[in-house]
Amino acid sequence: MMPTKRHESVGGWMSGGGRDSDVVISSRVRLARNVAGHRFVNRASAEERRELADKLAEAATHLEAAPHMEYFDLTALDDTDRALLVERHLISREHADAEGPRGVAVGADETISIMVNEEDHLRMQVLHGGFELDDAWALMSRIDDEMEQHVPYAFESEYGYLTACPTNIGTGLRVSAMLHLPALAMTRELQRVFNAAAKIDFIVRGLYGEGTQGHGDFFQLSNQKTLGRSEEEVLDNLRVVIPQIVRYERKVRDAMVKEHPRQVADRIGRAYGILCNARMISSEEALHLLSQVRLGVNLGVIHGMDLTAANRLFILTRPAHLQKIEGRDLESNERDMVRADFLRKSLAGARMSPSDSANE
């Protein structure tokens, strides 16, 4: 069973600000590892996976670098609780939907999560708010080193770390940043960001990873190559390109406010007005409107609310969270009602600036 109240708050990575949090929602580092002497998850028997899960759960909850980890056996959770973990970015959708012995160890503030028997035996993640890649990587490295003392990793000197899918072989490292780019999206300048990302072999995805589209101006930038590139090279690339994108987004926000202050306030005002008064609202529409509200908070057009409060609503209005809040399963149209009611209540303290424009 999930701790009952988990759905009422969000992870530490979202509550804290972090650097450049006006544009960078979060920084994430993930390592794929497999245990030497064991078959990959897709080849292992249920018994072998069960043994591995027990062993890795034990290890993951006894790391000095990651105190107070709690292990959830996914086979013991219901669909809603598993979906809740997906919405909190603690497990992948594939991990939620898979079968057989598997689980996840989660840190108290949800900065750390260690998936067991996902595609690989171990998928370890550190998630920080804002642009905090170095801190995330430092913590990830300590966890990785310590974990290796518990279980020997499958490693070959020619390739590096061995993984179930060739796309992760080598470093097993996936570094990503979740970006909020409303100004670039509005002015149709995103292609330049995608091009800059492609140049360093990074790709751009939506809010919930692979296969999802960029919704509500949120984009996940992550490296594609894990082979033939050192961890430091990958990190260095991000260290260069993320600040460029941040500057670019800010520049366009400033220009928009300067050149079209009315239009900016209008767009934000309409989003705020709908969120405060709608009685039914889909997940996708909420994302779009909340993106404008988050921008409004950043530009000072919306008062009585901070970026953290705006961030929280992205997570808390997802389907599984709404069902936990409501305490029961909800049909899609019921969720739209509960979502609207929750948003109205949540935005009760926020208010539009009385100014007519965004620059006053």
Interacting residues with its own copies (CB under 8 A): 262-263, 265-266, 269-270, 272-280, 337, 340-341, 352, 356-357
Give whichever of 75 and 263 is closer to its own copies, judged by the CB atom: 263
**Helices and strands in the chain, H and E counts:** 13, 12
CB 266, min distance to its own copies, A: 4
Quote the tokens at residue 258.
């300067």
User: Counting every residue, how long is the chain?
Assistant: 360
Which lies closer to its own copies via its Cβ, residue 138 or residue 276?
A: 276
* In the complex, least distance from residue 214 CB atom to its own copies, rounded to whole angstroms: 25
In the complex, minimum distance from the CB of residue 350 to its own copies, in angstroms, rounded to a whole number: 11
Q: How many other C-beta atoms lie within 10 A of the C-beta of residue 158? A: 4
Q: How far is the CB of 263 from its own copies (least distance, A)?
A: 7
The nearer residue to its own copies, 271 or 316, going by C-beta atoms, is 271
Residue 148: CB minimum distance to its own copies, A: 54
Containing 70, the helix (H) or strand (E) segment is strand 70-73
For its own copies, which is the closer residue by CB, 213 or 355?
Answer: 355
Q: How far is CA 213 from the centre of its chain?
A: 14
192's CB contacts (< 8 A; 6+ apart) are 184, 248
State the nearest-atom distance from the C-beta of 272 to its own copies, in Å.
Answer: 6
Which of 263/283 has CB closer to its own copies? 263
Question: d(Cα 324, Cα 84) in Å, to the nearest integer?
Answer: 8
Residue 128 has φ and ψ, to the nearest 5°, of -120, 150
Dihedral angle over CA of 177, 183, 186, 191, nearest 10: -50
- Determine the 3-state secondary structure of 282 from DSSP: coil
Least distance between its own copies and beta carbon 262 (Å): 5
Residue number, 3 or 327, with CB nearest to its own copies: 327
Calculate the CA dihedral of residues 210, 211, 217, 221 and round it to 10 degrees. Answer: 30
DSSP label of 8: G
Q: Which two tokens stand for residue 161?
A: 């770390």
Query: What's the token pair of residue 303?
Result: 């008062």
Nearer residue to its own copies within complex by CB, 219 or 272: 272
CA distances from 217 to 1, 143, 294 (A): 34, 33, 11
- Return the number of the residue (5 or 279) whose C-beta is nearest its own copies: 279
CB of 268 to its own copies, least distance (A): 8
